[in-house]
Amino acid sequence: MKKREKFAAEAREFIHVCHRLAQTQFVTSSGGNLAWRLEDDLIMITPTKLYKGDVDLQDLVFINMEGNVIEGARKPTGETPMYLKFFNLRPDVVSVIHCHAPHVCAMAISHNKNWLMRPIFPETTIEVGPVPLVPYAEPLTEQLAENFVPFLPKYNSFLMENHGLVTLSREGIKGTLMLVELLELSAKSILLALTVGQVKELKQQDVKDLGNTMRTRSLPLFGAPGANIALEDLYFGE
Protein backbone atom coordinates (compact mmCIF):
# COMPACT_ATOMS: atom_id res chain seq x y z
CA MET A 1 0.00 0.00 0.00
CA LYS A 2 1.27 3.45 -0.86
CA LYS A 3 2.13 5.73 2.03
CA ARG A 4 -0.28 8.43 0.86
CA GLU A 5 -3.06 5.84 0.99
CA LYS A 6 -2.05 4.36 4.34
CA PHE A 7 -1.83 7.85 5.85
CA ALA A 8 -4.69 9.40 3.87
CA ALA A 9 -6.19 11.23 6.86
CA GLU A 10 -2.83 12.69 7.86
CA ALA A 11 -2.15 13.67 4.25
CA ARG A 12 -5.43 15.59 4.04
CA GLU A 13 -4.65 17.39 7.30
CA PHE A 14 -1.14 18.18 6.09
CA ILE A 15 -2.46 19.68 2.85
CA HIS A 16 -5.04 21.70 4.79
CA VAL A 17 -2.27 23.21 6.93
CA CYS A 18 -0.21 24.02 3.82
CA HIS A 19 -3.19 25.87 2.37
CA ARG A 20 -3.95 27.61 5.66
CA LEU A 21 -0.40 28.95 5.87
CA ALA A 22 -0.73 30.30 2.34
CA GLN A 23 -4.14 31.88 2.98
CA THR A 24 -2.87 33.72 6.03
CA GLN A 25 0.29 34.78 4.15
CA PHE A 26 2.50 33.05 6.69
CA VAL A 27 4.23 31.69 3.57
CA THR A 28 4.67 33.33 0.17
CA SER A 29 6.19 32.26 -3.14
CA SER A 30 7.77 28.83 -2.51
CA GLY A 31 8.93 29.73 1.00
CA GLY A 32 8.20 27.81 4.18
CA ASN A 33 7.98 24.07 4.70
CA LEU A 34 6.38 21.44 6.93
CA ALA A 35 7.19 17.95 8.15
CA TRP A 36 5.31 15.30 10.11
CA ARG A 37 6.92 12.16 11.52
CA LEU A 38 4.35 9.43 10.93
CA GLU A 39 6.46 6.48 12.08
CA ASP A 40 9.89 6.08 13.66
CA ASP A 41 11.54 6.05 10.24
CA LEU A 42 8.97 7.82 8.09
CA ILE A 43 8.49 11.56 7.58
CA MET A 44 5.91 13.28 5.39
CA ILE A 45 7.44 16.52 4.11
CA THR A 46 6.67 19.31 1.65
CA PRO A 47 8.30 19.36 -1.79
CA THR A 48 10.82 21.93 -2.86
CA LYS A 49 9.97 24.96 -5.01
CA LEU A 50 6.20 24.78 -4.69
CA TYR A 51 3.77 27.39 -3.31
CA LYS A 52 2.08 25.88 -0.29
CA GLY A 53 -1.32 27.05 -1.54
CA ASP A 54 -0.91 24.68 -4.50
CA VAL A 55 0.25 21.59 -2.59
CA ASP A 56 -1.91 18.57 -3.39
CA LEU A 57 -1.83 14.87 -2.59
CA GLN A 58 0.47 13.93 -5.47
CA ASP A 59 3.00 16.55 -4.33
CA LEU A 60 3.68 15.07 -0.90
CA VAL A 61 7.05 13.45 -0.32
CA PHE A 62 7.81 10.66 2.14
CA ILE A 63 11.38 10.28 3.37
CA ASN A 64 13.19 8.21 5.97
CA MET A 65 15.31 9.50 8.83
CA GLU A 66 18.37 9.56 6.58
CA GLY A 67 16.63 11.85 4.10
CA ASN A 68 16.13 9.24 1.40
CA VAL A 69 12.88 9.48 -0.60
CA ILE A 70 10.60 6.52 0.10
CA GLU A 71 7.67 7.74 -1.98
CA GLY A 72 6.85 10.80 -4.07
CA ALA A 73 7.58 12.17 -7.52
CA ARG A 74 9.02 15.47 -6.29
CA LYS A 75 12.18 16.30 -4.38
CA PRO A 76 11.75 17.15 -0.68
CA THR A 77 12.30 20.68 0.58
CA GLY A 78 15.85 21.96 0.49
CA GLU A 79 15.55 22.48 4.25
CA THR A 80 15.51 18.70 4.78
CA PRO A 81 18.84 18.77 6.70
CA MET A 82 17.22 21.08 9.24
CA TYR A 83 14.26 18.74 9.72
CA LEU A 84 16.45 15.67 10.05
CA LYS A 85 18.42 17.49 12.75
CA PHE A 86 15.20 18.26 14.65
CA PHE A 87 13.81 14.74 14.47
CA ASN A 88 17.12 13.05 15.30
CA LEU A 89 17.97 15.26 18.27
CA ARG A 90 14.39 15.50 19.55
CA PRO A 91 12.79 12.04 19.33
CA ASP A 92 9.77 13.43 21.19
CA VAL A 93 8.93 15.81 18.33
CA VAL A 94 6.15 14.72 15.97
CA SER A 95 5.70 17.68 13.61
CA VAL A 96 7.45 20.88 12.57
CA ILE A 97 6.41 24.05 10.74
CA HIS A 98 8.81 26.61 9.31
CA CYS A 99 7.07 29.76 8.07
CA HIS A 100 7.37 33.52 7.75
CA ALA A 101 4.53 34.82 9.93
CA PRO A 102 4.88 38.61 9.46
CA HIS A 103 4.79 39.91 13.04
CA VAL A 104 7.09 37.17 14.28
CA CYS A 105 9.40 37.93 11.36
CA ALA A 106 9.41 41.61 12.37
CA MET A 107 11.03 40.48 15.60
CA ALA A 108 13.48 38.27 13.68
CA ILE A 109 14.89 41.36 11.93
CA SER A 110 14.77 43.72 14.90
CA HIS A 111 17.78 44.95 16.89
CA ASN A 112 15.54 45.46 19.90
CA LYS A 113 14.87 43.13 22.83
CA ASN A 114 13.46 39.73 21.90
CA TRP A 115 10.10 40.03 23.63
CA LEU A 116 9.18 36.49 22.61
CA MET A 117 11.59 35.27 25.29
CA ARG A 118 9.49 36.93 27.97
CA PRO A 119 6.19 35.88 29.62
CA ILE A 120 3.50 38.25 28.36
CA PHE A 121 0.28 36.28 27.83
CA PRO A 122 -0.70 33.20 29.87
CA GLU A 123 -1.65 31.15 26.79
CA THR A 124 1.60 31.80 24.95
CA THR A 125 3.62 31.24 28.11
CA ILE A 126 2.23 27.75 28.72
CA GLU A 127 1.64 26.59 25.15
CA VAL A 128 4.55 28.01 23.15
CA GLY A 129 7.13 28.98 25.74
CA PRO A 130 10.17 31.22 25.28
CA VAL A 131 11.34 31.68 21.68
CA PRO A 132 15.12 32.19 21.37
CA LEU A 133 16.88 33.80 18.42
CA VAL A 134 18.91 31.30 16.36
CA PRO A 135 21.86 32.99 14.60
CA TYR A 136 21.59 33.54 10.88
CA ALA A 137 23.04 31.07 8.40
CA GLU A 138 22.53 30.57 4.69
CA PRO A 139 19.21 28.81 3.99
CA LEU A 140 19.26 25.17 2.85
CA THR A 141 22.64 24.52 4.49
CA GLU A 142 23.93 22.16 7.12
CA GLN A 143 25.24 25.20 8.99
CA LEU A 144 21.68 26.48 9.44
CA ALA A 145 20.70 23.12 10.88
CA GLU A 146 23.73 23.16 13.19
CA ASN A 147 22.86 26.61 14.52
CA PHE A 148 19.75 25.14 16.15
CA VAL A 149 21.65 22.51 18.13
CA PRO A 150 22.42 24.55 21.29
CA PHE A 151 18.77 25.59 21.57
CA LEU A 152 16.98 22.32 20.82
CA PRO A 153 17.17 20.74 24.30
CA LYS A 154 15.33 23.60 26.07
CA TYR A 155 12.89 25.12 23.58
CA ASN A 156 10.19 24.23 21.06
CA SER A 157 9.92 27.43 19.02
CA PHE A 158 12.71 29.46 17.47
CA LEU A 159 13.18 32.81 15.78
CA MET A 160 15.50 32.41 12.82
CA GLU A 161 17.56 35.60 12.58
CA ASN A 162 16.65 37.59 9.44
CA HIS A 163 14.63 34.61 8.24
CA GLY A 164 11.51 33.32 9.96
CA LEU A 165 10.00 31.00 12.55
CA VAL A 166 10.33 27.31 13.38
CA THR A 167 7.90 25.58 15.74
CA LEU A 168 8.18 21.96 16.90
CA SER A 169 5.55 20.02 18.79
CA ARG A 170 4.64 16.58 20.07
CA GLU A 171 1.30 16.85 18.28
CA GLY A 172 0.15 16.38 14.71
CA ILE A 173 0.60 19.12 12.15
CA LYS A 174 -2.69 20.89 12.96
CA GLY A 175 -1.66 21.22 16.59
CA THR A 176 1.62 22.78 15.52
CA LEU A 177 -0.24 25.22 13.27
CA MET A 178 -2.32 26.34 16.27
CA LEU A 179 0.89 27.15 18.15
CA VAL A 180 2.20 29.15 15.19
CA GLU A 181 -1.02 31.16 14.99
CA LEU A 182 -0.99 31.79 18.74
CA LEU A 183 2.58 33.05 18.60
CA GLU A 184 1.91 35.28 15.59
CA LEU A 185 -1.03 37.01 17.29
CA SER A 186 1.02 37.41 20.47
CA ALA A 187 3.81 39.04 18.47
CA LYS A 188 1.29 41.36 16.82
CA SER A 189 -0.07 42.46 20.21
CA ILE A 190 3.43 43.05 21.57
CA LEU A 191 4.37 45.20 18.59
CA LEU A 192 1.14 47.19 18.94
CA ALA A 193 1.81 47.73 22.66
CA LEU A 194 5.32 49.01 21.88
CA THR A 195 3.86 51.70 19.64
CA VAL A 196 2.00 53.27 22.58
CA GLY A 197 4.31 52.55 25.51
CA GLN A 198 6.04 49.79 27.44
CA VAL A 199 5.15 46.10 27.49
CA LYS A 200 3.95 44.68 30.81
CA GLU A 201 5.38 41.24 31.66
CA LEU A 202 3.94 38.60 33.92
CA LYS A 203 5.69 38.43 37.29
CA GLN A 204 7.76 35.44 38.38
CA GLN A 205 5.07 34.25 40.80
CA ASP A 206 2.49 34.54 38.01
CA VAL A 207 4.59 32.24 35.84
CA LYS A 208 5.16 29.83 38.72
CA ASP A 209 1.38 29.68 39.22
CA LEU A 210 0.94 28.93 35.51
CA GLY A 211 2.88 25.75 36.15
CA ASN A 212 -0.23 24.60 38.02
CA THR A 213 -2.31 25.30 34.90
CA MET A 214 0.08 23.23 32.83
CA ARG A 215 -0.22 20.32 35.23
CA THR A 216 -4.02 20.61 35.27
CA ARG A 217 -4.10 20.53 31.48
CA SER A 218 -1.39 17.82 31.30
CA LEU A 219 0.84 20.10 29.22
CA PRO A 220 4.48 18.97 29.15
CA LEU A 221 7.30 21.42 29.74
CA PHE A 222 9.02 22.68 26.63
CA GLY A 223 12.19 21.14 25.28
CA ALA A 224 13.33 17.54 25.41
CA PRO A 225 11.80 15.40 28.16
CA GLY A 226 13.58 16.12 31.43
CA ALA A 227 15.57 19.08 30.07
CA ASN A 228 13.58 21.64 32.06
CA ILE A 229 12.41 21.39 35.67
CA ALA A 230 9.98 24.27 36.11
CA LEU A 231 8.26 26.81 33.88
CA GLU A 232 9.54 29.79 35.87
CA ASP A 233 13.13 28.62 35.44
CA LEU A 234 12.81 29.00 31.68
CA TYR A 235 11.88 32.65 32.05
CA PHE A 236 13.67 33.69 35.25
CA GLY A 237 16.34 31.07 35.85
CA GLU A 238 19.25 32.93 34.28
- The two beta strands, 164-169 and 33-39, are unpaired
- The two beta strands, 164-169 and 95-99, are antiparallel
pLDDT tens profile 64-101 = 999 999 999 999 999 999 999 999 999 999 999 999 99
- The two beta strands, 133-134 and 157-160, are parallel
pLDDT tens profile 137-189 = 999 999 999 999 999 999 999 999 999 999 999 999 999 999 999 999 999 99
pLDDT of residue 45: 98
Identify the band that residue 238 occupies on the pLDDT scale cut at 50, 70 and 90.
Answer: low
- Domain 3-236 matching CATH 3.40.225.10: the answer reads yes
pTM comes to: 0.97
Domain ranges of the chain: 3-236
pLDDT of residue 237: 86
pLDDT of residue 1: 86
pLDDT tens profile 105-141 = 999 999 999 999 999 999 999 999 999 999 999 999 9
Strands lying side by side in the sheet with 61-63: 69-71, 61-63, 42-45, 33-39, 95-99, 164-169, 157-160, 133-134
